[in-house]
Amino acid sequence: MPPSFTKYLKSDRRTLCLLRHPHLSLRGAHQIHAHLLVSGFISDPYAAGKLAAFCAVSPRGDLRHATLLFRRLPCRSAFLWNTMIRAHVERGQAGDALSLYRDMLAAGFLPNNYTFSFLLRACVDRDSLSDGQKFHALIVELGWEAYDFVQNGLLHMYSSCGCLRSARKLFDGSPDRDVVSWTAMLTGYAKQGQMANARELFNRMPERNVVSWSTLIGMYAQFGRFKEALDVFNEMQVCGIQPNQAAIVGALSACGSLGALDQGMWIHAFARRNAMELNRILGTALIDMYAKCGCIESAVEVFELMLERDVFAYTAMISGLSNNGCIKEALGLFSRMEEERVRPNEVTFICALSACARIGFVDQGRMIFESMDGVYYIKPGVEHYGCLVDLLGRAGLVEEAKKVVSEMPMEPDSYVLGALLNACGMHGVTELGRETIEDLKKLRLDHGGIHVLMSNMYASADQWENVAKARRAMEVRQAMKVPGCSMVEVDGVAYEFVAGDRSHKQIKEIISAIRGIDKQLRSFSNDPSAI
C-alpha cells in the first residue's frame, strides 16, 4: 500500500470519529464530507454509512443532504438502506420510507429484522393494516419473528391499526412478554375507546415503565376523561415514576379542560425544576392550558419564551387570545404568523375567522376566508363556511349569509344551519328562519338546541303562538337539551357538576350553601344600600 494512501487512511479514520462528537454541527459534517471526497475514502461503505447516518438521523442533521449522498454512492450496504428507511419514518415520511424499501428490494437486498422494525412503524403512521399483514407474512417466511423487537413491532402495528384480535393472538402466544409488549396492547385497547379494558390491562401489567403510565394518561385525556388522567398522573408520582414529556403534556391537557389552574401551574413548575426543554410540544400544551384556565398573560409569556414556534403553537395562542376576549391581539398574531412565514393550517383559519365574527370584522374575515384557497391552496371545509356564515349573520348580512349557504360545495351541517338560524333570530328574519328549520329537519338535525333557537327567534319577533308551538313540538319529539356542566377546583382537585346530578357525597351541604347565597343576593336586591 503506498505510504501516502496509508497516511490518508489513518487521517480519515480519525475524521470519522468526529461524527460521534456531541456538538458536531451540520456545517462540520459538510466539511467531513468534503475531506472524504478529496481523499477518495467516501467510496468505503463504512465511511459513507457513518456520514449518511449522521446527516439522516442526528437532530442536527439534514435528511435532504443524506438522501443526495445516498443516491450518489456507488456501493450501498444493508446498514445504509436501513438508516435511510429509519430516517424517513422518524421524520414522519412513511410513504417515502416504503418507497425506499421497494428500491432496496430492486437493488437485490433482502430486509432484516431492523428493516422490519422501521417498516412496521411506517404502517402504523399510514394506518395501513394491509401493508402490515404483508410484512408479517414476509417476517415469518424469512424467520425474523423470534426477535423481541419484531414481535413488539407487530403487536404495536396490529393494535394501533385496530386489529385487536390479531394483536391478542400474538400477545397470548409470545413466550417473552416484556413491558413493551404490554404497553403495545394497552395502546390498542385504549385507542378503540375501551378505557375500562385498558385500565384492567394496565393493572395486570407485571412491570410498568414511564411509557405505560404516559400512554394511559394521554388516552384518558384524549377521550375526555380528564379527572382520571390527573388521577393517574398523581398515582404515577406516588409510585416513584418521574413523568416524561408525554405524561406532562397529557396532564396539562386535562388541567386545561378542567380549569385546574393550580395543578397546571404546579406541573409547569415541575417541568422547569427538571430542566425540561420548552420545545414546540411542551410549549403548545402550556399555552393551551393557561389560555383555557383564563390566565392569558402566562400563555403569552410561554409563547414568547419558546425558541421555535410552529403552526400548532401559533394556533393555540390565537385561539387562546380570541377565547379570552383579546380579539385584536389574536388577529395581530395571525398577521405576525404570516410575516414569519409560518404556514397556517385548517384549524388556524377556524380560529382567525371565529375571532373576526366576535368583533364584527367582516372585511378582514372575508379576506382571510378568500386567502385559504387563493394564497395557501387550502380548500375551505364545512367548519370554515360555518364561521363565515356566523360572521355575516352577526353583522346583519343575513341575505349574504344565506347565499353562502346555498353556494357551498358541500352539504351544510348543523353548525352552518344553526349559525344561519341564530342570525335569523337576532335580526327578526322569521321566514328564512322557518326555511332553515325545515332544512334541519330534513337532515334530522333538529335537536333540543335547535328547538330552543327557534323558540327564541319567534319570541324576539313577538310571535308568541309560534313560541308555544315550538315548545310543544320539543316535548312531542322529546328533544332534550344537553345538561349544563360546571367545574370548580378546590385544593388542586377538580370537581364536576352536571345539571340535575345529586351524586356528590356532600350534595346536602352544597345545596344548603347555594340557598344561603341565593337568600343573601335576594336581600341585596331588595335593599341596594346593603351592598
DSSP conformation letters of 272-338: HHTT----HHHHHHHHHHHHHTT-HHHHHHHHHH-SS--HHHHHHHHHHHHHTT-HHHHHHHHHHHH
* pLDDT for the residue 76: 81
Residue 198 has pLDDT above 90, yes or no: no
Is pLDDT larger for residue 381 or for residue 472? Answer: 381
Is pLDDT larger for residue 47 or for residue 250? Answer: 250
CA-to-CA distance for 486 and 396, rounded, in angstroms?
Answer: 32
* pLDDT for the residue 461: 60
Least confident piece of the model among 1-10, 71-80, 338-347: 1-10
**Average pLDDT of 493-512?**
69
* pLDDT for the residue 4: 38
CA distance to 23, 337, 372, 382, 505, per residue, from 341 (Å): 29, 6, 15, 26, 54
How is residue 247 written as a grid cell?
Answer: 405524561
**Average pLDDT of 217-233?**
90
Is pLDDT larger for residue 112 or for residue 51? Answer: 112
- What do you get for the CA distance between the two ends of the chain, in Å? 100
Q: Name the band, by pLDDT with cuts 50, 70 and 90, for residue 195.
A: confident
* pLDDT for the residue 91: 85
Q: Name the band, by pLDDT with cuts 50, 70 and 90, for residue 300.
A: very high
CA-to-CA distance for 30 and 24, rounded, in angstroms?
Answer: 10
* Percent of the chain's residues with pLDDT above 90: 35
CB 224 within 8 A of CB 257: yes
Q: Name the band, by pLDDT with cuts 50, 70 and 90, for residue 10.
A: very low
Name 211's Cβ contacts closer than 8 Å, sequence gap at least 6.
179, 180, 183, 244, 246
Q: Name the band, by pLDDT with cuts 50, 70 and 90, for residue 5.
A: very low
CA-to-CA distance for 146 and 143, rounded, in angstroms?
Answer: 7
* pLDDT for the residue 334: 95
Is pLDDT larger for residue 288 or for residue 127? Answer: 288
Mind spelling out the 3-state secondary structure of 325-355?
CCHHHHHHHHHHHHHCCCCCCHHHHHHHHHH
Which range has the top average pLDDT, 14-23, 72-81, 442-451? 72-81
* pLDDT for the residue 367: 95
Q: Name the band, by pLDDT with cuts 50, 70 and 90, for residue 456.
A: low
* pLDDT for the residue 24: 61
Q: Name the band, by pLDDT with cuts 50, 70 and 90, for residue 531.
A: very low
* pLDDT for the residue 355: 95
Burial 504-515 (b: 16+ CB within 10 A, else e): eeeeeeeeeeee
* Percent of the chain's residues with pLDDT above 70: 73
Give CATH for domain 208-301: 1.25.40
Q: Name the band, by pLDDT with cuts 50, 70 and 90, for residue 499.
A: low
How much is the pTM?
0.67
CB 413 within 8 A of CB 445: yes
Name 32's Cβ contacts closer than 8 Å, sequence gap at least 6.
15, 16, 18, 19, 51
Is pLDDT larger for residue 276 or for residue 208? Answer: 276
Q: Is 284 left (phi over 0), alpha (psi -120 to 50) or beta?
A: alpha
* pLDDT for the residue 2: 36
**Average pLDDT of 194-199?**
78
Q: Name the band, by pLDDT with cuts 50, 70 and 90, for residue 330.
A: very high
Residue 428 has pLDDT above 80, yes or no: no
CA distance to 204, 222, 312, 377, per residue, from 198 (Å): 10, 14, 29, 41
Q: Name the band, by pLDDT with cuts 50, 70 and 90, for residue 160.
A: confident
Name 52's Cβ contacts closer than 8 Å, sequence gap at least 6.
66, 69, 70, 73, 80, 83, 84
